[in-house]
Amino acid sequence: MTSGGIRPDGIKPAFFKRAAMAAAAVAGALFTGMALANPKPGQLNMTRGVTEWSSEPYFLNNVALGVCVVIGVLVFGAMFIAMFRFRKSRGAVAEKWSHNTMLEIVWTTIPVIILIVLAYLATGGLTSFADTTGSQMTVKVTGYQWKWRYDYVDYQGKAIDKVGFMSKLDDQSNDTRQLGSGLDPNAVKADGEQTYLLDVDKPLVVPVDTKIRFVITADDVIHSWWVPALGWKIDAIPGIVNAAWANIKTPGTYRGQCAELCGQDHGFMPIVVKAVSKEDFAKWLAEQQKPAAAAPAADASAGASASATAPAAPTKG
Amino acid sequence: MAHAATHDHHDDHHGAPTNFFTRWCMSTNHKDIGTLYLIFSLAAFFVGGSFAMVIRAELFKPGMQLVQPYFFNEMTTMHALVMIFGAIMPAFVGLGNWMIPLMIGAPDMALPRMNNLSFWILPFAFALLLSTLFMPGGSPAGGWTMYPPLSLQTGSLAYAVFAIHLMGISSIMGAINIIATILNMRAPGMDLLKMPVFVWSWLITAFLLIAVMPVLAGAVTMLLTDKYFGTSFFNAAGGGDPVLYQHIFWFFGHPEVYIMILPAFGIISEIVPTFARKPIFGYKAMVFAIAAIAFLSFIVWAHHMFAVGLPLGAEIFFMYATMLISVPTGIKVFNWVSTMWGGSMTFETPMLFAIAFIILFTIGGFSGLMLALVPADFQYHDTYFVVAHFHYVLVTGAAFAIMAATYYWLPKWTGHMYSETWGKVHFWSSVISVNVLFFPQHFLGLAGMPRRIPDYNVAFANFNMISSIGGFWFGASQLIFLGVIIHAVWFSKKKATDRVWEGAKGLEWTVPSPAPFHTFELPPVIRDEELAHGHVED
Ligand code: HEM
Ligand SMILES: [Cu+2]
Ligand SMILES: [Cu+2]
């Protein structure tokens, strides 16, 4: 069972832990765990996500939704009873009162108490999100109209030199999304997943079980970097560097999109994060660093496959 | 001046000029100007609605079928601007113009000539704004929020900025007029705490308008100088800060959303007691809640900016302040329900819309509360969940209240009853379709669909199609609304009585239907039992 890898951090009440585990187990069983957090047809709720922190928004969402449903049932229920009981056609005669101090005190106090509880829970989640210290890896993310650039800054205390690349919409999606292309969005697939507008030429590859600090900025206009499975989005703003962190617990491919309107192709700059085991990541990283040494050889083959892939490596190497 | 007019029109009781141009273009009459505002707003509602139909048609299924992405962005931007500044706000000003003098026993607005000017600026402002659609390079397409640096890439920015300046001037003049009227022109005996809640809600809204429209004007002027005069307010490369714009914009923007809902609260607080035949529950609490919401609306603006990377302390402050707003909002909802409890209710079209408002606006309030929780907002922000939220509060909130008000006061305006059957058809068609349209958008947002995108992954296909069907249906339903209004104005044979509704109370129901061209030329004698709320102590 792949969901075994998911461990909500220790601060949640036990009932939630169990609920989350159960939900994750069901989702894991249905979708083989790897694709745990990508959108599903007919999906009704947020997913728990795959990081140490991503249960926070999920948990708050569910609690707040539950609170709203309960209040809604009470208030709308009272209203429907009133509409049924106090209709003129049933001979109801209007009463004259327009006050009830006791009631008014009650329905001011109870919401305040509920809000305090919600605020307490939310503050906890926010504080843990804000703590980007102790990260084992740093990735710099830069938004461009209309693609992303990823630069690997350091990993396990060592600076990484010249590993960085552009990541843009995959060609198949790009051909299909042209106005009147006549191509079927359902036909856009990668590894059996329907990836229309959610795939890129070169994903961001990261290790699992590693606290990764993302430093996020933009080059032209404001973008927003969002992978729902990581539990947050944060704006990429020119001239400002934002920071956030994620510690991914389950290997898999997680898809997201730019979430801040950034011009005509705002809908066409997806994000793909591929989380792999630490060993695989070490191998991948070594490979990325190689072309720098063997620049002339790599040049020829790189040019053919991924055009926007490797400006950093060959040119500076 | 109102008293002088009494003599001029001594013989001609109705006194409206017969010349079309003089009557409508040079009008200083609050009723005619109110009518102009309402017609303008209805026209804008259909223009903005047609943009929405383009949006929903493109989003009907995955793949790009109809428009280029840039044009799609023009549509989302213009849809919002037209609906906010053209449909919702002028509708409330029109209702205020028509009803405030009638409700407080004043002969007209305090500043009738300025009233004419505030209206007649609007058609020019919108001509300017809409003309950008036909320009090479197109209209603004950076969203109604016009965040730089993106908005600075728009060729037609200057036109949009000047249009916003004009709308702002119009709103500020309208607000000054309303404040002057309410504070100075009340009939003797109409104490502040005997005023209808609708009048209270407009008094408070008018202060909000005066406070924040200049802020918006400042923000867009800074965009203008950044683009054309080499300043760097929002340009990081020149030492500016793009986030500064967002702070200024939302300092306007959040009070702005309350400008669009407080008069709606007022309307619902008039309609529910009328059809429950029971006085409003907790009058003072209602007024106080509106004032509290207005005050809080100034200290919550950054809840639109939780994802820009605010410092932890700021996120916490704005989260708590935002959550606090649900307390007075909740009080209002509880009071409406309590007004119904123990009443003797009938369900004519205005009441149906009012009841739908209470339920559906509250659903929008619930999602608002969820959005206020910062960690959850990291997920919700800029997704269809937010789109669902603000359409519940704005369409089933503000727009439904405007429709309720139209049905409620139409007999007073025209002297004829509208068709109750077709009014109900309009109601049921609208209330069902609007939920088909917006409810699935919650799911889309939760599943990860960003807002303001022209195309999407196939996983989002089913709910988008449902939403689009609801959209076309809701759009078509509004043609029924148009039909009901046209019928009531020109064709209805059924005469309205002065009181119109059995349970109606207040000065506006003491004048004939249709309300004559001039009313309350002599201040009415106020009898407390005739007012909806005649007892200050309560
Ligand atoms: C209980 C009361 C409310 C709360 C707590 C609340 C909270 C929020 C929050 C936190 C957001 C930002 C969401 C995001 O972008 O991530 C938001 C957006 C919005 N709200 Fe509300 N809201 C409330 C009532 C209203 C009302 C009454 C209106 C208007 C009549 C309104 C109109 C809007 C609009 C238009 C937006 C989107 C603005 C944009 O980004 O274009 N809200 N609300
Ligand atoms: Cu974007
Ligand atoms: Cu707000």
Which of B84, B258, B304 maximizes ligand 1 atoms within 8 Å of its Cβ, making it the mutation to test the pocket?
B304
Q: Record the tokens describing residue A290, joined without a space.
A: 């190689």
The verdict on a CB contact (< 8 Å) between B362 and A257 is no
Q: What is the CA radius of gyration of chain A?
A: 25
Q: Sign of the C-alpha dihedral, residues B327, B333, B335, B338?
A: negative
Residue A238: list chain B partners with CB under 8 A. Answer: 149, 236-237, 242
The length of chain B is: 538
In our burial notation (b when 16+ CB lie closer than 10 A, e otherwise), range A60-77 reads bbbbbbebbeebeeebbe
Q: What is the C-alpha separation between B173 and B206, in angstroms, rounded?
A: 10
First to last CA, chain A: 44
* Confidence tier at A2 by pLDDT (50, 70, 90): very low
Angstrom CA distances, A8 to A51, A230, B380, stand at 9, 14, 21
Q: Which residues contact B529 (CB under 8 A, 6 or more apart)?
A: none
Q: What is the C-alpha separation between A317 and B314, in angstroms, rounded?
A: 43
User: Which of B341, B385, B452 best probes binding to A when mutated, by most A CB atoms within 10 angstroms?
Assistant: B341
Q: What is the C-alpha separation between A129 and A51, in angstroms, rounded?
A: 12
Domains, chain B, with CATH or none? 31-530 (1.20.210.10)
Q: Which residues pair with A231 in a beta bridge?
A: none
Backbone phi, psi, residue B373, to 5° = -80, 105
Strand order across the beta sheet in which A158-167 lies = A158-167, A147-155, A137-144, A211-218, A242-247
Q: What is the C-alpha separation between B162 and B158, in angstroms, rounded?
A: 6
pLDDT per residue as tens digits for the range A87-102? 999 988 888 888 889 9
Which ligand 1 atom sits closest to the C-alpha of B260? 30
Q: Which residues pair with A252 in a beta bridge?
A: A275
- Nearest by CB to A234, which of B307, B345, B449? B307
Angstrom CA distances, B470 to A253, B60, B62, B413, B465, stand at 34, 11, 17, 32, 9
pLDDT per residue as tens digits for the range A27-52? 443 443 344 568 999 999 999 999 99
Q: What is the C-alpha separation between A199 and A135, in angstroms, rounded?
A: 28
The verdict on a CB contact (< 8 Å) between A103 and B338 is yes
Query: What is the DSSP code (8-state) at residue B278?
Result: S
User: Which of A46, A224, A234 best probes binding to B when mutated, by most B CB atoms within 10 angstroms?
Assistant: A46
Backbone phi, psi, residue A143, to 5° = -90, 135
pLDDT per residue as tens digits for the range A158-202? 999 889 999 999 999 999 999 989 899 999 998 888 999 999 999
Instruction: Give SS3 for B450.
Output: strand
* Confidence tier at A69 by pLDDT (50, 70, 90): very high
The verdict on a CB contact (< 8 Å) between B452 and A266 is yes
Q: Which residues contact B533 (CB under 8 A, 6 or more apart)?
A: B193, B194, B195, B196, B197, B279, B280, B283
Q: Scanning the structure block, which residue is given the tokens 């910062």?
A: B374
pLDDT per residue as tens digits for the range A250-261? 999 999 999 999
Q: Which residues pair with B416 in a beta bridge?
A: B495
Whole-model pTM?
Answer: 0.91
| C-beta separation of B338 from B282 below 8 A | yes
| C-beta separation of A98 from A173 below 8 A | no
Domains, chain A, with CATH or none? 49-91+107-131 (no CATH), 137-292 (2.60.40.420)
Q: What is the pLDDT along chain B (538 residues), one digit of tens a residue?
A: 344 444 444 444 557 888 889 899 999 999 999 999 999 999 999 999 999 999 999 999 999 999 999 999 999 999 999 999 999 999 999 999 999 999 999 999 999 999 999 999 999 999 999 999 999 989 999 999 999 999 999 989 999 999 999 999 999 999 999 999 999 999 999 999 999 999 999 999 999 999 999 999 999 999 999 999 999 999 999 999 999 999 999 999 999 999 999 999 999 999 999 999 999 999 999 999 999 999 999 999 999 999 999 999 999 999 999 999 999 999 999 999 999 999 999 999 999 999 999 999 999 999 999 999 999 999 999 999 999 999 999 999 999 999 999 999 999 999 999 999 999 999 999 999 999 999 999 999 999 999 999 999 999 999 999 999 999 999 999 999 999 999 999 999 999 999 999 999 999 999 999 999 999 999 999 888 888 887 755 5
| pLDDT reported for residue B538 | 56
Taking residue B71's Cβ as centre, other Cβ atoms within 10 Å add up to 18
Listed residue (B405, B431, B407, B424) closest to B488, CA to CA: B407
CA atoms within a 13 Å half-sphere pointing along the CA-CB vector of B177: 30
pLDDT per residue as tens digits for the range B479-507? 999 999 999 999 999 999 999 999 999 99
Note the ipTM here. Answer: 0.90
The full DSSP string for B337-358 is: HHHHTT--B---HHHHHHHHHH
| Alpha carbon of A181: minimum distance to chain B alpha carbons (Å) | 8
- Nearest by CB to A94, which of B308, B343, B447? B343
Can you give chain A as a three-state secondary structure string? CHHHHCCCCCCCCHHHHHHHHHHHHHHHHHHCCCCCCCCCCCCCCCCCCCECCCHHHHHHHHHHHHHHHHHHHHHHHHHHHHHHHCEHHHCCCCCCCCCCHHHHHHHHHHHHHHHHHHHHHHHHHHHHHHCCCCCCEEEEEEEECCEEEEEEEEECCEEEEEEEEEECECHHHHHHCCCCCCCCHHHCEECCEECCCCCECCCEEEECCCEEEEEEEECCCCEEEEEHHHCEEEEECECCCEEEEEEECCCEEEEEEECCCCCCCHHHCEEEEEEECHHHHHHHHHHHHHHHHCHHHHHHHHHHHCCCCCCHHHHHC
| C-beta separation of A307 from A295 below 8 A | no
Which ligand 1 atom sits closest to the C-alpha of B366? 1
Strand order across the beta sheet in which A252-258 lies = A204-207, A270-276, A252-258, A223-227, A232-236
Q: Sign of the C-alpha dihedral, residues B115, B116, B117, B121?
A: positive
Q: What is the C-alpha separation between A44 and B408, in angstroms, rounded?
A: 38
Listed residue (A182, A237, A246, A239) closest to A214, CA to CA: A246
Listed residue (B91, B198, B184, B110) closest to B507, CA to CA: B198
Which residues sit with their C-beta closer than 6 Å to ligand 1? B 145, 257, 260-261, 303-304, 322, 325-326, 329, 365, 368-369, 371-372, 377, 380-381, 386, 389-390, 393-394, 397-398
Amino acid occupying residue B319: M
Query: Exposed (0-12), middle (13-18) or buried (19+): which is B202, by Cβ within 10 Å?
Result: buried
Q: Record the tokens describing residue A309, joined without a space.
A: 């892939």
Closest residue of chain A to B311, computed from CA coordinates: A130
| C-beta separation of B50 from B132 below 8 A | no
In our burial notation (b when 16+ CB lie closer than 10 A, e otherwise), range A226-249 reads bbbbbbbbbbbbbbbebebbbbbb
